[in-house]
Structure 1
């Protein structure tokens, strides 16, 4: 009887140690950890599955786990899940200060070879824009979002993209974005035209923006 009790305590202690290790790792990773990272703790799929079934651990999508995931803001989650992505379109307009309300869907530019399975998730909702590597890296800058670094396009590149793909953009958001850019005293017209040539939207820029400059 004493041996059985000792064994139960030993299992419970091991479980608590595993949970503490998981919490520490997830915290170090910004709130979300990959399966491969959890495996470095000596855990296997069965252990992770048991914690998920118990409600201790949350599987947010294939290959990614978290704790208290639903309590986290989208701003906390996006930089961790998509450190290689670049905020673009409506999301870019919002974080460049050109829209007052954050769009419901996150628009993120990613390399064309990125696995589509990364975006199969219920929360947050992400719309990926698959892009050539050279184009993806053009005009990228970073800013701090909830303590995490995230990439975003410079406003001049962003405006050119919005004009290039205006059929994919909400008309009202595009209008507000263009008006805000025109009023932006820190805009760089030379840089805008450089990106306009690169993105092949020179005529659109001249017709939609040039008359107001």
Structure 2
């Protein structure tokens, strides 16, 4: 039978050497075991509720996802994470459901609040061995056309060009999203000459 320590290390092993306090709680392991493992230098605290083993690798995006688990990486950040932009975001953008308090996020991320369609286009990707929740590229491109979002067109234009040249593009899905958000005319302006 596995000891609690071994169980924690097993969870961490499956998670790139990272263990979250809530994973320990879900596994019904006393938190005291975590504290002992930190004291024994088996685990190292990274930030509140996040620990890493010696071999563990902590990705900044994963840390943000762990801190703000209700958020979905979006806009320029989603472009970067999916390889449609070479520019790493200085302040990553995450989208949250209406009603989420954003006061403690300021300075760490750029929160965007939506009242509906929060789940539309939500996917999970793996980046540097960590699982991240982001919007697919079609939703991302459409989100960047929304008038109330201050889009960086120096990133948007090359991204839409890369997208239209990509073998993975799904133009039907892109236009379906644009139609859903009432942005098909706007999208046509940018994509018309590229197809």
- Shared fold by TM > 0.5? yes
**Hey, what does 1:158 align to over in structure 2?**
140
Query: If each structure's helix is expressed as a fraction of its own residues, which one has the higher value?
Result: 1
CA RMSD, 1 decimal? 3.9
Report the Cα offset of residue 25 of structure 1: 11
C-alpha separation between the residues in 1 aligned to 2:19 and 2:93?
Answer: 20
Which residue pairs with 1:41 in the alignment?
A: 30
- How does the TM-score come out when normalised to structure 1? 0.65
Question: Which runs of 5 or more structure 2 residues have no equivalent in the other structure?
Answer: none
Structure 2: how far apart are the matches of 1:167 and 1:141?
Answer: 21
Deviation at 1:108, TM superposition (A): 0.9
CA distance, structure 2, for counterparts of residue 65 and residue 139 of structure 1 = 28
Q: CA deviation at 1:195?
A: 0.5
Q: TM-score, normalised by structure 2?
A: 0.70
- Does residue 105 of structure 1 match 2:105? no
Aligned to 1:136: 118
Instruction: Quote the Cα distance in structure 2 between the aligned partners of 1:113 and 1:149.
Output: 25
Unaligned runs of 5+ in 1: 1-19
Which of structures 1 and 2 has the bigger CA Rg? 1
* CA separation of 1:42 and 1:149: change in aligned 2, threshold 3 A: closer
In the TM superposition, what whole-angstrom CA distance separates every residue of 1:148-182 from its partner, at most 9, and x where no partner exists? 32222122121111111475122211222122122
Cα distance between partner residues in 2 of 1:111 and 1:201: 21
Show the counterpart of 2:80. Answer: 94
Identify which of 81, 87, 91 aligns with 2:67: 81
Distance 1:114 1:174, change over 3 A: same
